[in-house]
Each structure stands twice: as structure tokens, then as C-alpha cells.
Amino acid sequence: MSVLVMKFGGTSVGDLARIRNAAEKVKREVERGHDVIVIVSAMSGKTNELVGWVEETSPLFDAREYDAVVSSGENVTAGLMALTLQEMDIPARSWQGWQVPVQTTSAHSAARIEDIPRTNIDQKFAEGMKVAVVAGFQGISPEGRITTLGRGGSDTTAVAFAAAFGAVRCDIYTDVDGVYTTDPRIEDKARKLDKIAFEEMLELASLGAKVLQTRSVELAMRYKVKLRVLSSFEDTDDNSGTLVCDEEEIMEQNVVSGVAYQRDEAKMTLISVADRPGIAAAIFGPLARAGVNVDMIVQNISEEGRTDMTFSCPVNQVARAKDAMDKAKESGEINFHDLVADTDVAKVSVVGIGMRSHAGVASRMFDALAAEGINIKVITTSEIKISVLIDRKYMELAVQALHDAFGLDSAA
Amino acid sequence: MSVLVMKFGGTSVGDLARIRNAAEKVKREVERGHDVIVIVSAMSGKTNELVGWVEETSPLFDAREYDAVVSSGENVTAGLMALTLQEMDIPARSWQGWQVPVQTTSAHSAARIEDIPRTNIDQKFAEGMKVAVVAGFQGISPEGRITTLGRGGSDTTAVAFAAAFGAVRCDIYTDVDGVYTTDPRIEDKARKLDKIAFEEMLELASLGAKVLQTRSVELAMRYKVKLRVLSSFEDTDDNSGTLVCDEEEIMEQNVVSGVAYQRDEAKMTLISVADRPGIAAAIFGPLARAGVNVDMIVQNISEEGRTDMTFSCPVNQVARAKDAMDKAKESGEINFHDLVADTDVAKVSVVGIGMRSHAGVASRMFDALAAEGINIKVITTSEIKISVLIDRKYMELAVQALHDAFGLDSAA
């Protein structure tokens, strides 16, 4: 018997009518012969209400109690979904994390799934149950306390179940109908991708395309779980949405699959840093300890033992970064002339597995930007991604130009 | 170490401010040296919301899923109460039913507590925990599913914990400040009782004084748990509220402790029933199967092999009772001339353990009613209770007259 995992997020189960709508999709998969494991989030708004109560009660809350309170939202949806399926004559039951049990670490509010024993659910499938509805986002610690996986944890729950049960696929139902070549709000020629490689999805997710949690994509890649993103609110069939899969499964591969952006970046430059071995550690150690998420790093050519060091970080971390650098200067850890922050920049990236085997991607990118008169401030590259920092006011223009230059409006 | 059980109902934990108020009361008991087990209900309104969702989803719902959904309200309160206590520097943690575990039967939505092993909570007390906050109303079945005890189940949870932990007392915090000699809305001289015997409380509870669930009083009586009813919304001390206890502990006992009433009764009379052995079973069997709660029963003197049979039941069950009797007549089970329903009656009762050793209570009651010109339609008596059925329009007058006749406005 083939197991299919289906995950419905908060907006997809936001009220009883939407739960019924989701159940209809589950029913269709049961009729196709699947045993289905449904992972549900809390009804939209419920988790925020519970988190609000906890934070108002106790600003420095005990994470164990936070988890016990916040996990209750998913339990409600799981029961309601099981009841809805039963009303459609589909044998279903709900499972809370501890009942499966979803065994996690003790890192409350950010727990990691360690194991999902199949015995209990497999036994029910063998007895004729067709759908196991599992409360997402939660598990049980070795101490027997309720844990949660952190925000977006329901995607991770879904992928972990798909891996544990050898599922044919893990379908993530959400409020968008798939992964796009770029943000359709910026480029109206943006095209939905039928398939995308895990590695590309990871780069896009970390670049702000918030369709899937990075962590769930990593897990899917590690366990080779076929992941599909599709819409709860449209009619869907076997070809709907976007399949996130191994690159071998993608026959016709564009050189570039998508253009991503991050609007609120800042470019920070340390002027005239003493260039000595260990200087990078001396700069980025204090920044990391201060909680600054440093992204791009560029070091200029050294002259007379001194150099300029440039890095980027989110705009709202600029004050924290300055503070950390000033303190490191005072303590004598590092020595620099000045710290200059440019808070009006954005990052634009092209991502594609095809880059590995195609030369000339970078130059095509730079040509396209130059043709629009867009100045590049910083460049970084990885195997499957090229990112540039540019003035924020050119961001939309850059996305459109690159989308066009790489022919993303038409399939490969 | 002495264990004290404190139970807070839905209105007592209705919002974060009220949870804090309840936590203050818990704190005071900890400071007095108790280890405290707090039993909490769901925040008021929450259970109704969850029940509404279940009923809308599935009119003939699976009670196992109902329990899984509905129990989540208590889990939220338990976590929030534990966090509130921690904020007051009191070592506390929450326990859901399955974590204790509260072992129940598998009768979902109406489960009975079978056992409460002390090991887990005792271990935490030994490690320095001062307060165990337990989600009321719920447990776990032998199959590992979540069960609930039915409405009012949190009182039962509290008494069961008090019995299991040999608690010095079980304090039920609610929105009234104790048990009264009668309803203060009818008799403004009604007086709060300092103590009342279990048996009396049971009679009062079943007569409509809705302070405590009958079931929790029965359990307290069986396990000799001292039960106290007191207000969440007033300053309370060791002498607050009403103590429900063994009659031996009540030194000065009034002959009558209270006057109770039930407004919406109906008096039904089967005219000219064939009087033969087994006739009572032939009448009350079909009524019971039809779900009619028959209360008082009186059989008139038999003449020429026929008799009149009178019984009382709630007004809203009259149609059902008539239907059951008509069907029994059609099927030949019973034979009667007519069924007459008087739907304008009320029941008034006096309750008191002192009756056992004092003669003349009935005549004093009948004299008091006669002095007001109130006609008695039906009388029933038990060891500690005398009830009469009267015209509904005299109900308030009867309560006041009896309260006065038995001197209930002053202590014994």
C-alpha cells in the first residue's frame, strides 16, 4: 500500500468550511488508493492568540509550558479534520504528537525530530484506517514533555513522516499554487515552475521566497522525499503545483530557474582595517555573538598592510553590528578607521543548477544590469547562485531585466 | 508534607487577570506550607466554542475525537497557570491528563476515573516543585486515547486527586461564596452555611442547588475528602466558604439545613390503571427507556382492582412521557383510562440530617404551608428530606415560609 503525506497550513484549515475543502482533497487521494497521513497546522490566528497569552503572562517564559500551551491549536484541527473525514465515510483518526509518538530532542520551542516509530499508525492502517490525521509542529521529549519544532515546524513534520513511512510524495498545500520563476508582484511574466531541484529551492527559500521552510527542504533533500507545493484553494490534480525533487528527475533544465531578491539589506564597510592573519575571525566572531546575520563578505585588495572589509546584513541589524564593532575596537580586538553603513541597498540573485555546466551566466547577468544602468556594489557567487547588491531603487527593474535576460517567461 | 487540592472553574480562570487572581490564592497556600495540586477548567466560553465546532462538523460525532478536541481548553489554562505561578517565583509545572496519567475507563465523553498513580507528581514534589497544575476534566483510556469525564468533570478530577494524594482538603473555587440555606434571590434572609454534611449536599445538589456536581460529592463522601466551596472573587481565609464534610464533624446541627426547590416540574396522573402485580414496572420501564427522569411516585389506594398512579417529571419531558404511555397502552402493556398532566407545579424540599433524630419535622412543614394557604399535591420523604409538589405560583412563598419556620436565618 502506498502512503501519501498531505500537509495543510493554517490558512488552509482556517475555518470549518476550509477544513471540509481540505478533506475533499484528502478523500480524492484515498479514492486513488493511497493510505494518507495528513499533517495539520492550527487554524490561522490560533497560534498567535496562544503565543500572545503566554508572552503576556510571562515575558521570559518557561519554554516547556509555552510548548504545552501553543501545541493545543494543532490538536484541535487534527480532531476536527478526523471528524470531517469520518462524516465523508472515510475511516480516519487523529494523533497528537505524543500518541504517535513523534520523538524529539528536549530543545523546547526548537526541538528536532529524532525518530517517528511507525508501529502505531501502521497497525491502524492494517486494521482498515485510511487516514491518520497528525497534529503538526509538535512532539514529545525524552522526559515526556510536549515539545514544538518552532515556526514553520509543520512542514518539517510532514517531510519527516514522508521519510519515516517511505511516502510516494509529500504534498504541501498552501495559499500559493507553486514556486515561481520570480515574485509575480514584481514581474507579471513570472511563470510557475513544474519542477525545481532541492538545491535551487533551498537557495530560493533562504533568499526570501517564503513558500517552504528551509529546514523542511533540507530534510526532504537528505531523505530523497519528493515534495510538492500546491494550492488549497484551487482544483488540483497530479500535475498541479511545483514538484521539488532531485535534479536527476528534471529532464529539461533551464540554466537559471529563478530570480530572487531581498529588499531590506544594508552594506557595511570597515575602512582601513589592519590586514593580518585572523582578522576575519576577529571581525565576524563579535558580529555572530551579537546575533548579526552576516550574508555577503568581500575583502578588498590589501595596500600597505591595511584593507577595507565589506559585508551585508539585514537593515534592522545595523545598529547592533555597529555596536559590536565599536566594542571590538575599544577592547583592541580590531583596529579600523571608520565604519560606513549604506542602508539603501537590496540583494538580487539568480539561481540555477544549470550554472554548474554553463559558462557565461555571470557575464550575461552583469550585461543585463549594465544595459539598465544599474551599478553593482558587491558580488558573491556559489555553485548555483550569483548574487549582487544594488541600490534599492533599482531592485524591481533588476528583477525584471534578469527574468527577461534568462528567458524565464518560457519553459526550457 | 501536606497536600492541598485547589480547583478553579471556568469563570475563575476566564482571562489572564483572573488566572493571576487565582494564582495569588495558590501562592498564599504555598506560603502556608502546603504542596498544592491545582485543577483547572478551560477559560470560560472556550469549551462551548470547541463543542460548537465539533457539533457543526459532525452531528453524530465520534466521541474519541470530541474528547481530543474539547480537552484542549484545559491544557491551555494549565500551561498559563503554571507560567503565572513561575512568574511569582513559585516552582510549578503543568500536567495534562495523560502525563499524570489520570487513568479512566474507555467511556468517551463520560469516562470514570479508575486510578491516579502518584509516582510522577510525588517525584516532582520531592525535587522541590511546589505546585502541580493539572488540566481537569480529562484522562487517558487503556487504549491510549484522550478521554473526558463529562460536564462538571473538573470537580470530579479535583476530588479524585484529593483522594489519591490524601489531601488535607479539596477547595472548590467558584463564583459563589458557599452553600446557602436557600436561594438568596428568593429569600433575602438566606444564610451561608459554615458546614454541611455530604448527604445533605447531595440532596441539595440533586434538587438544583448547582454549586457542586453530584458526582464529585458522592466521590468525596466515599473517600472522606473534606470539600470546601468558596469564592474566587473575594478575599478568603481558612474559615471562608462552606465545608462539605462528614456529619460527625458538624457539632451543632440544625434539624433542617436548607430549603431547595425545582421550578419546572410537571405532575402526571394515570387515571384508573389496572392494579396488578408488576404494574409499576410496566409503567416506569417504558418511561425510563424513553429518557423520562421520573422523580416522585405516588400510588393511590386501590378500589375494585383499579388505581390512580401519579408521578412527577421535568416539564420539558411531558410530551415524551405522554408518547411513551400512549404506546404502552396501544401495545397492551398497560391499561388506563386517561393521562392528566399538570404542568404548573413546582417542588419544594427541606433537607437536614437532624431529621433522623427529630420527630415532627413533617408536621411543622405542613403546618407552615397550611398557614399560607398552600395546598400540597404530592408528598415524598426520605431519611433526610421531605419534598412536596405545589402550585408553581406559591413556590417563592413556600420557600420563604419554610425558611422561617425552621429558623434557618440564625445559626443552630
The answer to whether the annotation marks A52 as part of a ligand binding site is no
Q: Which residues contact A260 (CB under 8 A, 6 or more apart)?
A: A182, A203, A204, A207, A208, A209, A348, A349, A351
User: Residue B206's pLDDT is what?
Assistant: 65
Residue B364: inside a domain: yes
Q: Which of A126, A144, A175 is the last residue of a domain?
A: A175
Partner-chain contact B57 A84, CB within 8 Å: yes
**pLDDT confidence band for A365 (50 / 70 / 90):** very high
Q: What is the CA angle B47-B108-A42, rounded to 5?
A: 45
Is residue A393 a contact partner of residue A345, using CB atoms and an 8 Å limit? no
Please tell me the least confidently modeled range out of A233-237, B31-35, B204-208: B204-208
- ipTM score of complex: 0.81
A7 annotated binding-site participant: yes
Q: Answer yes or no: is A78 within a domain.
A: yes
Mean pLDDT of B266-288: 89
Question: Interface of chain B against chain A, CB under 8 Å?
Answer: 16, 19, 50, 53-54, 56-58, 61-62, 64-66, 68-69, 72-73, 75-76, 78-80, 82-84, 86-87, 93-94, 96, 98-99, 144-146
Tens of pLDDT along B333-354? 888 999 999 999 999 999 998 8
- Residues of chain B in contact with residue A86, where contact means CB-CB under 8 angstroms, are 58, 62, 65
In a domain, residue A214? The reply is: no
Average pLDDT estimate for B77-101: 97
How much is the pLDDT for B17?
A: 97
Q: In chain A, what residues touch B47 (CB-CB under 8 Å)? A: none
User: Residue A165 domain-assigned?
Assistant: yes
| pLDDT bucket at A386, cuts 50 / 70 / 90 | very high
Q: Provide the pLDDT for residue A300.
A: 79
pLDDT over 60 (residue B11) = yes
> Of B134, B152, B175, which residue constitutes the final position of a domain?
B175
B271 and B132 together in one domain: no
- A94 interaction partners in chain B (CB closer than 8 Å): 65, 68
Q: What residue ranges in A175-237 does DSSP mark as E strands? A: 195-197, 227-231
d(CA A370, CA A363): 10
Q: Which cell numbers in the block locate residue A176?
A: 500559493
Whether residue A75 and residue B84 make contact (CB cut-off 8 A), yes or no, is no
Residue of B16, B21, B49, B72 to mutate for A, most A C-beta atoms under 10 A: B72
Q: Annotated binding residue at A10?
A: yes
B360 pLDDT higher than 80: yes
Is the pLDDT at A269 greater than 90? The verdict is yes
- Cα–Cα dist B320/A388, whole Å: 79
Q: Are the beta carbons of A174 and A114 closer than 8 angstroms?
A: no
Domain annotation covers residue A197:
no
Q: Which domain holds residue A353?
A: 259-405
Taking only the tens place, the pLDDT of each residue in A139-187 is: 999 999 999 997 678 999 999 999 999 999 999 999 888 999 998 889 9
Domain end among A119, A142, A175: A175
Alpha-helical (H) ranges within B58-152 are: 63-70, 72-87, 119-126
Of all residues in chain B, the percent with pLDDT exceeding 90 is: 73
For B57, the closest of A69, A87, A93 (CB atoms) is A87
Q: What is the pLDDT of residue A64?
A: 96
Q: Would you say residue B174 has pLDDT above 80? A: yes
Q: Is A189 annotated as a binding residue?
A: no
DSSP secondary structure code for residue A11 in this structure: G
Cis peptide bond N-terminal to A184, omega within 30: no
Residue in B73, B82, B99 nearest the CB of A65: B82
In a domain, A55, yes or no: yes
Answer yes or no: do B47 and B171 share one domain.
yes
Inter-chain CB proximity B78 and A93 less than 8 Å: no
Q: With bands split at pLDDT 50, 70 and 90, how would you rate the model's confidence at B212?
A: confident
Return the C-alpha cell found at B122.
510525588
- Does B412 score more than 60 pLDDT? no
Summarize pLDDT for A70-94 with one digit per residue, the tens.
999 999 999 999 999 999 999 999 9
d(CA B154, CA B74): 9
Confidence of residue A280 (pLDDT cuts 50, 70, 90): confident
SS (H, E, C) chain B: CCEEEEEECCHHHCCHHHHHHHHHHHHHHHHCCCEEEEEECCCCCHHHHHHHHHHHHCCCCCHHHHHHHHCHHHHHHHHHHHHHHHHCCCCEEEECHHHCCCEECCCCCCCCEEECCCHHHHHHHHCCCCEEEEECCEEECCCCCEEECCCCHHHHHHHHHHHHCCCCEEEEEECCCCCECCCCCCCCCCCECCEEEHHHHHHHHHCCCCCCCHHHHHHHHHHCCCEEEEECCCCCCCCCCEEEECHHHCCCCCCCCEEEEEEEEEEEEEEEEECCCCHHHHHHHHHHHCCCCCCCEEECCCECCEEEEEEEEEHHHHHHHHHHHHHHHHCCCCCCCEEEEEEEEEEEEEECHHHHHCCCHHHHHHHHHHHCCCCCCEEEEECCEEEEEEEHHHHHHHHHHHHHHCCCCCCC
Chain B residues with CB inside 8 Å of A57's CB? 16, 19, 80, 83-84, 87
Whole-angstrom Cα distance, residue B261 to residue B181? 12
- Closest Cα of chain A to B138: distance in Å? 14
| Residue B312, domain CATH | 3.30.2130.10
Q: What is the pLDDT of residues A103-145, one digit of tens each?
A: 999 999 999 999 999 999 999 999 999 999 999 999 999 999 9
Asked whether the predicted pLDDT for residue B324 surpasses 80, the reply is yes
Q: Which element (helix H / strand E) includes A298?
A: strand A297-299
* Residue B137 shares a structural domain with residue B286: no
- The answer to whether residue B106 is domain-embedded is yes
Query: Around Cβ A156, how many Cβ atoms within 10 Å?
Result: 27
Residue A183, domain member (yes or no)? no
Looking at residues B59-77, what average pLDDT do you find?
Answer: 95
Domain count of the fold of chain A: 2
Question: Mean pLDDT in chain A?
Answer: 92
Do A8 and A136 belong together in one domain? yes
Q: Which one of A16, A83, A99 has the shortest CB-CB distance to B65?
A: A83
